[in-house]
Chain A
Amino acid sequence: MPSDPNIDPIIRVRGLVTRFGTTVVHDGLDLDVKRGEIIGVVGGSGTGKSVLLRSIVGLLKPAEGQIEVFGQNVRDTDADDYRALRRRWGVMFQDGALFSSLSVRQNVEAPMREQLDLDDDLRALLAGIKVRMVGLPNKAQDNYPSELSGGMRKRAGFARAIALDPEIVFLDEPTAGLDPIGAAAFDTLIKQLQLSLGLTVFLVTHDLDSLHAICDRIAVLADKKVLAVGTMQEMLALDHPWVHEYFHGPRARAATPVAKPKETE
């Protein structure tokens, strides 16, 4: 449910500069994410999509610029505030980043155990609901990450990210490496949970199908900035060589819904 544009952005990035040594990754990057939307972040390899994600959740210290989440500066908070802030978002890393010494259920329980004082049965029960919500079979709960397939690990990572019903979820390439059916199912899952939990989703992806299917808006990273933000229609209409290549390339054409009859090339 795309929300009122007048509302304050839930994530607000202003003038972000990120450097690694002499390499400048972001140079004056601005981005607003609205509450309740699914924003897809795209860009070529090495344009710093994951770096942006890491900066927003406070894992990387930007050289310059302001990053505010829920109106609070991410880097400029004391430990307690940062802890409270973390409680309101969930992050899913590329390969799930599950703790390999814990079972799937224990992985999902980990944030609950850390943040809340619940009795063991209740925690296990709630974790079990989350595991099933992301579409894992019930018996997968007691499996260890090394016993799961790549797709299942991603789902389990997602379950851990939403363990505490956060307001924002950051997803780093959730559908990369999944088969088309699995990827489509994951898209549906994200959309469904966004509707039922009222999530804001920050989605780093290369998957054009995901962009078409679930993203309310798309932000394009290029030339060390956010080049453009807008809906899929706006992106398709945009006149920039890279953006045009990205959204009109041979793979993009395949992903475009067959609303219009196939054009002869």
Chain B
Amino acid sequence: MSATRLQTAPDMSGQVRFDSDGARLSVQGRLTIDSFEHLDRDVIAQQASRAEVVDIAQLSHMDTAGAWFLLDLAGRTSAGAASVITGASDAQTLLIEAVRTNLPPKAAGAKPAVRLVDHFETLGRRVALAGSHALEMLSFLGQVIAAMARVIRHPRALRLTSVVHHCQQVGLQAVPIVALMAFLIGVVLAFQGSAQLRQFGAEVFVVDLIAISILRELGILLTAIIVAGRSGSAFTAAIGSMKMREEIDAMRTLGLDPVAILVVPRVLALVLMLPALGLIANVSGLFGGALMSWIELDVSPAVFQARLVSNTDVWHFNVGMIKAPVFALIIGIIGCYQGMKVGGDAESLGRQTSASVVMAIFMVIVADALFSIFFAIVGV
């Protein structure tokens, strides 16, 4: 037999070998999924197209991938059917048959190319989806408010333990980070403010700068941002994993209202605690500012205090405090809503948690901008 050796893979004992003598393509050795790393399938396929019989009597080992390849070769022969494979053992026949019945269905043509119109369609769908999400969130807000109203009418329905627990989680445990953050902001403001104001000899106005910016805007805004990152995400993750483990459904079947049990205590705790955290941030920020003014500008604490009391309207403080519960509501509602939206898989938990933080921070800033306009119109 004058066989032309076609393909020899690198030396591994028992590697597969294809020999062709025109009408007969014989396969020897081990034909497994590893073989395809080395085989030049096109060359063998070409050889197969000239063959009439694929002889595998010498094939010592074959796996599913090997069986598929043999079927592929058989399909390329002149007869073009699995019957050209000869010399298979019983087990090999079984495997080839099993693979043959599970071959992929003939492809229904390539996927149509993405056109410009499709992009518009995607955009449209996204907008519609965003709209429906906004509506859903509004309805969720309504549910929470209704549940809170029920609690006001029946105070005994309030889960007090749960509220206290969440107050500790979102309030007490956030005190160190919030205080430190505000202190540093106060320091930075004093430092930067003094550098600019010194040019005009107006160093003493640094007190007004610090007081107004911290009391009115920064104290509460930055606190809200930290709380959104800290507690908003925790709400989403906690409620989301309960949703994943069907705990929420279990509650519903037991006649318990998940909104009243899970959402109301969280939102309530946040509404109570965010003003308190804002207050701490204000005090800590002013303290940092005063300290830096003293070191950098020789504005003594007594002068700082006097100027603070005489020149800063109490409404600056009030404006900040009025915003706090609204920010808390935004963070709480978004955090819990996103938790309720978690689906069955771990991936969606991560997605919703990150969406919750981004959205909460964004909405807090939007609300802050609206407040600014509102207070400017009202004139405080």
Cβ-closest chain B residue relative to A119: B36
- Complex Cα spacing A181 to B60, Å: 37
Interfacial residues of chain B within 85-122, with CB under 8 A of chain A in the complex: 91, 94-95, 97-99, 102-105
User: Are A126 and B64 closer than 8 Å at their CB atoms?
Assistant: yes
Candidates B37, B64, B344, B346; contact of A165 at CB < 8 Å: B64
Interface membership of chain A positions 127-169, coded 1 if the CB is closer than 8 angstroms to chain B and 0 otherwise:
0111011000010000011100000000000000010110000
User: Are A138 and B33 closer than 8 Å at their CB atoms?
Assistant: no
The answer to whether B249 has its CB under 8 Å from any CB of chain A is no
User: Are A146 and B63 closer than 8 Å at their CB atoms?
Assistant: no
The answer to whether A100 has its CB under 8 Å from any CB of chain B is yes
User: Are B37 and A196 closer than 8 Å at their CB atoms?
Assistant: no
Given A100-B345, A101-B346: A126 touches B98 (CB 8 Å cut-off)? no
Candidates A100, A116, A132, A195; contact of B33 at CB < 8 Å: A116
The answer to whether A192 has its CB under 8 Å from any CB of chain B is yes
Given A133-B102, A146-B344: A126 touches B37 (CB 8 Å cut-off)? no
Cβ-closest chain B residue relative to A198: B91
- Complex Cα spacing A144 to B105, Å: 21
User: Are B91 and A125 closer than 8 Å at their CB atoms?
Assistant: no
The answer to whether B68 has its CB under 8 Å from any CB of chain A is yes
The answer to whether B343 has its CB under 8 Å from any CB of chain A is yes
The answer to whether A117 has its CB under 8 Å from any CB of chain B is yes
The answer to whether A79 has its CB under 8 Å from any CB of chain B is no
Complex interface: chain A residues within 8 A of B345 (CB):
100-101, 144-146
User: Are B343 and A129 closer than 8 Å at their CB atoms?
Assistant: no
Cβ-closest chain B residue relative to A147: B344
Given A118-B37, A145-B345, A165-B63: A196 touches B94 (CB 8 Å cut-off)? yes
**Nearest Cβ distance between residue B171 and chain A, in whole angstroms?**
34
The answer to whether B347 has its CB under 8 Å from any CB of chain A is yes
In which size bucket is the chain B interface? Answer: 20 to 34
The answer to whether B65 has its CB under 8 Å from any CB of chain A is yes
Given A101-B345, A116-B33: A196 touches B104 (CB 8 Å cut-off)? no
Interfacial residues of chain B within 331-353, with CB under 8 A of chain A in the complex: 343-348
Candidates B32, B37, B104; contact of A125 at CB < 8 Å: B104
User: Are B33 and A112 closer than 8 Å at their CB atoms?
Assistant: yes
Complex interface: chain B residues within 8 A of A259 (CB):
none
Complex interface: chain A residues within 8 A of B95 (CB):
196-197
**Nearest Cβ distance between residue A126 and chain B, in whole angstroms?**
5
The answer to whether A237 has its CB under 8 Å from any CB of chain B is no
User: Are B37 and A195 closer than 8 Å at their CB atoms?
Assistant: no
Of the candidates A145, A195, A196, the one having the most CB atoms from chain B within 10 angstroms of its own CB is A196
User: Are B104 and A128 closer than 8 Å at their CB atoms?
Assistant: yes
**Nearest Cβ distance between residue A132 and chain B, in whole angstroms?**
4
User: Are B104 and A130 closer than 8 Å at their CB atoms?
Assistant: no
Cβ-closest chain B residue relative to A126: B65
The answer to whether A7 has its CB under 8 Å from any CB of chain B is no
Number of A-B contacts (CB under 8 A): 64
**Nearest Cβ distance between residue A109 and chain B, in whole angstroms?**
12
Complex interface: chain A residues within 8 A of B21 (CB):
none
The answer to whether A258 has its CB under 8 Å from any CB of chain B is no
Complex interface: chain B residues within 8 A of A195 (CB):
91, 94
**Nearest Cβ distance between residue A259 and chain B, in whole angstroms?**
27
- Complex Cα spacing A142 to B104, Å: 14
Complex interface: chain A residues within 8 A of B94 (CB):
195-196
Of the candidates B36, B65, B99, B104, the one having the most CB atoms from chain A within 10 angstroms of its own CB is B65
User: Are A165 and B91 closer than 8 Å at their CB atoms?
Assistant: no
User: Are A138 and B105 closer than 8 Å at their CB atoms?
Assistant: yes
User: Are A197 and B64 closer than 8 Å at their CB atoms?
Assistant: yes
- Complex Cα spacing A193 to B91, Å: 11
The answer to whether B257 has its CB under 8 Å from any CB of chain A is no
Cβ-closest chain B residue relative to A117: B37
Interfacial residues of chain B within 308-366, with CB under 8 A of chain A in the complex: 343-348
The answer to whether B40 has its CB under 8 Å from any CB of chain A is no
Given A144-B345, A164-B33, A165-B63: A129 touches B99 (CB 8 Å cut-off)? yes
**Nearest Cβ distance between residue B157 and chain A, in whole angstroms?**
35
Complex interface: chain B residues within 8 A of A118 (CB):
33, 36-37
Complex interface: chain A residues within 8 A of B36 (CB):
116, 118, 122
User: Are B68 and A197 closer than 8 Å at their CB atoms?
Assistant: no
User: Are A129 and B37 closer than 8 Å at their CB atoms?
Assistant: no
Complex interface: chain B residues within 8 A of A162 (CB):
64
Given A128-B104, A146-B345, A196-B94: A116 touches B34 (CB 8 Å cut-off)? yes
Candidates A122, A133, A164; contact of B98 at CB < 8 Å: A133
User: Are B64 and A130 closer than 8 Å at their CB atoms?
Assistant: yes
Cβ-closest chain A residue relative to B63: A165
**Nearest Cβ distance between residue B43 and chain A, in whole angstroms?**
15
- Complex Cα spacing A138 to B104, Å: 8
- Complex Cα spacing A100 to B351, Å: 13
Interface membership of chain A positions 93-109, coded 1 if the CB is closer than 8 angstroms to chain B and 0 otherwise:
00000001100000000
- Complex Cα spacing A196 to B102, Å: 13
- Complex Cα spacing A145 to B344, Å: 9
Candidates A132, A138, A165; contact of B65 at CB < 8 Å: A165
Task: State the 3 A-B residue pairs at the shortest beta-carbon distance, nearest first.
Answer: A165-B63, A100-B345, A146-B344
**Can you name 11 A-B residue pairings with CB atoms under 8 Å?**
A116-B33, A116-B36, A118-B33, A125-B104, A126-B33, A129-B102, A129-B103, A132-B104, A146-B343, A196-B94, A196-B97
Report A's interface with B, CB cutoff 8 A.
100-101, 112, 116-118, 122, 125-126, 128-130, 132-133, 138, 144-146, 162, 164-165, 192-193, 195-198
In the complex, given contacts A125-B104, A129-B64, A165-B64, what are 17 additional A-B residue pairs having Cβ atoms less than 8 angstroms apart?
A: A100-B347, A116-B33, A126-B65, A129-B68, A129-B104, A130-B64, A132-B102, A133-B64, A138-B104, A162-B64, A165-B63, A195-B94, A196-B91, A196-B94, A196-B95, A196-B98, A197-B95
Report B's interface with A, CB cutoff 8 A.
32-34, 36-37, 63-65, 68, 91, 94-95, 97-99, 102-105, 343-348
